[in-house]
Amino acid sequence: MTKPLYFYLSQKEKNFNPIRHDIQNLLITTALTRTLSSDYYDGIFELAKYCAQTRNEETCISLLKKLIISKPDYFYRAQNEKNFDSVRGEVNKLLSSISTEAFSRAKDAIAKSESSLKQALEATSEARQALITSKDKATLNSSTMCENVETKLDLSKDKVASGDYVAFLEAKPIAEEAQALSNEAVDTANRERRHYEDRRKEKVRNAWERVPGAFLGWPLLFGIIGAIGGCTVGLFSGTASQSAGGGFLLGVIGGLIFGIYNIQKELQ
């Protein structure tokens, strides 16, 4: 059948009644062996109902399973279709099996995503510690990504908790998206950690480069200031030379303390 529409119409055509059984067998074979397209859906459903009414239970269930997997809306139609009452027990088993499988796949995806999120949180924690140590002011992109993962995971879990078949189907890709984002967050956190570790090393290197200034520049500057101050005071007491020398010495000590303090602060 090159035109899917005729697949459906052939079931309704009364002129086919004399060979109705052969037509139905042909349609069943076609339905079970071909990939379903949108034009076949209602026709397959009608075939499944026909098989139920003729007690062809095995074919009915096979058709329904293929139909529901291709078009989840038929899960609910099968629940409420009275023409399946004659095989209701098997239909319910099928629906339960399909729903359980979807539930299990969603739970597995959530579990994998939670594991990935744990790794992302650990990597982000290490990046945050590196940021704190570097004393830079910044926001970690990996932290924001982890928050987005948690939001997606919560949505996925809510869908699983709903007990609804289609919600189970929706939960799996959301959890998989959360897992992919978690993996991306791990990579981002590792890059951020390395960046802030390098920033810390750079600051330490710069601090050591300022050691000569800490032991020479600052003491000398403070010494000169101290000498000027001491000399000024000494002019009024008549001991300008001694006061200048004492001021210089105090300035040197003060400059040395100030320089060491700055270096120590950088190295902390």
Residue 192 placed within a domain = yes
105 and 132 in a common domain: yes
| Any domain includes 33 | yes
- For residues 45 and 111, state if they share a domain: no
The model's pLDDT over 230-239, given as tens digits with 9 standing for 90+, comes to 445 444 454 4
In-domain check, residue 161: yes
- 41-45, 170-174, 218-222: lowest mean pLDDT where? 218-222
Please state the rounded mean pLDDT for residues 177-187: 97
Taking the C-alpha atoms of residue 44 and residue 27, their distance in angstroms, rounded to an integer, is: 9
Q: Could you tell me if 109 and 193 lie in one domain?
A: yes
pLDDT at 3: 44
Average pLDDT value for residue range 80-87? 93
**Residue 170 CB partners (closer than 8 Å, separation 6+):** 159
In a domain, 78, yes or no: no
State yes or no: pLDDT of 222 exceeds 90: no
Give the pLDDT band (50/70/90) at residue 142: very high
Does 89 reside within a domain?
no
Q: Please, which pLDDT band fits residue 160 given cuts at 50, 70 and 90?
A: very high
Contact call for residues 143 and 128 (beta carbons, < 8 A): yes
Q: How far apart are the first and last CA of the chain?
A: 79
Q: Please check the confidence at residue 223 and state whether its pLDDT lies above 50.
A: no
Residues 9 and 39 in one domain: yes
Instruction: Determine the pLDDT at residue 49.
Output: 87
Q: What is the pLDDT of residue 206?
A: 62
Percent of the residues in the chain that have a pLDDT greater than 90, as a whole number: 46
In a domain, 79, yes or no: no
What three-state secondary structure class fits 135? coil
In whole angstroms, give the CA distance from residue 68 to residue 169: 12
96-110, 134-148, 242-256: which range is least confident on average?
242-256
Count structural domains, the chain: 3
Domain residue limits at 243: 210-267
Q: Which of 200, 232, 259 is the last residue of a domain?
A: 200
The residue to which tokens 């995806």 are assigned: 109
Is the pLDDT confidence value at 124 over 90? yes
pLDDT band of 90, cuts 50, 70, 90? very high
**Rounded mean pLDDT of 85-92?**
94
Instruction: Mark whether 101 and 192 lie in a shared domain.
Output: yes
Closest by Cα among 33, 35, 28, 34 to 49: 28
* Residue 84 falls inside a structural domain: no
Last residue of a domain, one of 173, 200, 227: 200
Q: Are residues 159 and 135 in the same domain?
A: yes
H or E segment to which residue 15 belongs: none
Which of 200, 221, 253 terminates a domain? The answer is 200
